[in-house]
Amino acid sequence: MKMNPRSVKKTRLQLLHQYYSYTGFYKFLGTSLKKALPPILLFIAGLLVVNYFVININDLLIYVTKNYSDYIVFSVFFASESLLGLIPPEIFIAWSDKADSPILYLSILALLSYLGGVISYFIGKSITKIPSVHEYLEVKMAKHIKNTRKWGGFLIVVGALLPIPFSITSIAAGMIRYSFTSYLLFGLLRFVRFYLYAAAIFNLV
């Protein structure tokens, strides 16, 4: 006797796939990937142009290494990663390649980026208590926050891996009070991003 296909209970994975298909998550993720690729290519192209026509990047990074203490560089990076990610992490990743222990310095950068995201998460939780700031962010980040509410952890994964300021994603997660434990778990992919980018950047500089 044949079973009615409709009577077959769907697995949790199938239900999740169906949900994300219906809500448009896959389309959103594909769009995000398409938007993320050009900045990566532009950064690489810009890096090559600067290196060959403006200033030798190796010499510049060596200058920074010799004239600025590691603590200053790490402090600037941590502040940037905690406050909207204003400085591209790739610059610091390239800097770490000139250290005596590149992998150690890269790991410290990844950890600081992760911790900066945690600070941003709590900024997001507390900033909604300020009416004027709350209203401003609700307007400027409305779409981002809406998608975070809808897809939760998946959007944090995108923020951790792609060249999107991780701080902004973290602030949004804090604003909607997304599970802190889940945030910490998904945020660990920030380390993966740094190691993957370093594999490419170290070969360029």
pLDDT, tens digit, 9 for 90 and up, residues 66-90: 778 889 899 989 988 998 777 788 8
Question: Where are the chain's structural domains?
Answer: 50-203
List CB contacts of 154: < 8 A, sequence separation 6 or more.
20, 25, 29
What DSSP element (H or E) covers 65? helix 57-67
pLDDT, tens digit, 9 for 90 and up, residues 111-156: 999 999 999 999 888 877 777 766 765 666 566 566 656 666 777 8
DSSP output for 74-111: HHHHHHHHHTTT-S-HHHHHHHHTTSSSHHHHHHHHHH
Which pTM was predicted? 0.67
Assign 7 a pLDDT band (cuts: 50, 70, 90).
Answer: very low
The sign of the CA dihedral 81, 87, 90, 93 is negative
DSSP 56: -
